[in-house]
Amino acid sequence: MFDDLKGKRVLVTGASQGIGLAAAVAFARQGARVGIGSRSVDANAREALARVRQWDPESEHFPGDLSETAECERLVEKFVARFGGIDVLVNNAGGLVGRKPLAEVDDPFFDQVIDLNARSAVMVTRCALPRLIASARSSGATSSVILVGSIAGYTGGGPGAGLYAASKAWLHTVQKNWVMAHTRDGVRFNVVAPGTVDTAFHADKNEAARASIGATIPMGRFGTAEEMAPSFLFLASHACSGYITGQIINVNGGQYMP
Ligand code: NAP
């Protein structure tokens, strides 16, 4: 079904665990050439690279703190030096940073949340754009940028997560401008918006909290990272989604229906 992903050069940020890792493995299983990013060089990153290399022996890990523009630039440069170009970019790095009610929001916290979730996606995309355009021109197929949004981008997020939620809504919106500007360059932009997915993101919740959240989801449970992955493949594949751009795929078990 995703045959055209074979040989595609795919960069997945935030792929040392969770949703990003599941997506990276899924791309590699399709025969794509996959680079994974993460902030840390740790056991997670080493295990993640080993898992992706089971399918793509030439996969590489590119560490860097994408809250900083210089690191975004370096990531794209290193990926291109290694793979010769970029066909698919998955901007997945992100997270809560912490929970602070409005009364406690200060400048450093504001900057951390926005830099991690919004600046990183903009800057990696900006740096990758010439390569994505070149990919579309040379292949005749569209190239694909996938942003990772969130159910929180619609609902406003959980306690103390207002800035995080707004940063995800910001991603839902900013792509619309890019669609207007770059569709004729052959680049598509779409969002995967997960619901509540069982990853380290929810490590702060005990069993009771997890059960009560699960009960609010029509599917009756959290999603898995692996259940997010096929949506990334679909949006990356020109054969499957070549006429789809500027959209949001909500993968949330029915938890929210916009
Ligand atoms: P996760 O398991 O915590 O993984 C986060 C990944 O992002 C890790 O690889 C992490 O690397 C990387 N990362 C974090 N800060 C970074 C930075 N400053 N620079 C570069 N990489 C960084 O989270 P997840 O649940 O898979 O979440 C993945 C994406 O889905 C995020 O954008 C999140 O907001 C979104 N999302 C998640 C859920 C959910 O319920 N899980 C719901 C909606 C949206 P290090 O470990 O090295 O820091």
The C-alpha atoms of residue 183 and residue 29 are separated, in whole angstroms, by 28
Nearest to 26 by CA among 244, 231, 217: 231
Share of the chain above pLDDT 90, in %: 99
Atom of ligand 1 nearest to the CA of 194: 43
Q: What is the CA radius of gyration of the chain?
A: 17
Distance 93 CA to ligand 1 centre (A): 5
Q: Who's near 168: CB < 8 A, 6+ residues apart?
A: 94, 117, 149, 150, 152, 153, 157, 193
Q: What is the mean pLDDT of residues 163-186?
A: 98
Q: What is the mean pLDDT of residues 105-115?
A: 98
Note if the pTM is more than 0.95: yes
- Residue 140: the pLDDT is 96
* Res. 204: pLDDT tops 90: no
The C-alpha atoms of residue 112 and residue 8 are separated, in whole angstroms, by 32
Q: Are 188 and 133 in contact (CB under 8 A)?
A: no
pLDDT band at residue 1 using 50, 70 and 90 as cut-offs: confident
- Residue 80: the pLDDT is 98
* Res. 176: pLDDT tops 90: yes
Classified as helix, coil or strand, 60 is: strand
The C-alpha atoms of residue 83 and residue 248 are separated, in whole angstroms, by 28
Q: Are 227 and 202 in contact (CB under 8 A)?
A: no
Residue bearing the CA closest to ligand 1, atom 31 = 94
* Res. 245: pLDDT tops 90: yes
> For the segment 5-51, what is each residue's pLDDT rounded down to a tens digit?
999 999 999 999 999 999 999 999 999 999 999 999 999 999 999 99
Architecture of domain 3-251: 3-Layer(aba) Sandwich (3.40)
Give 49's strand partners: none
Q: Ligand 1 pocket by C-beta < 6 Å: which residues?
A: 14-20, 37-40, 44, 65-67, 92-95, 116, 148, 150, 194, 196-197, 199-201
Question: In sequence order, what E strands does the chain have?
Answer: 9-12, 33-38, 60-63, 88-91, 143-148, 187-194, 247-251
Q: Who's near 99: CB < 8 A, 6+ residues apart?
A: 158, 159, 160, 161
Token look-up 């103390």 returns: 160
Verify whether residue 164 is a known catalytic residue.
yes
Atom of ligand 1 nearest to the CA of 225: 26
* Cα-to-chain-centroid distance, residue 78: 19
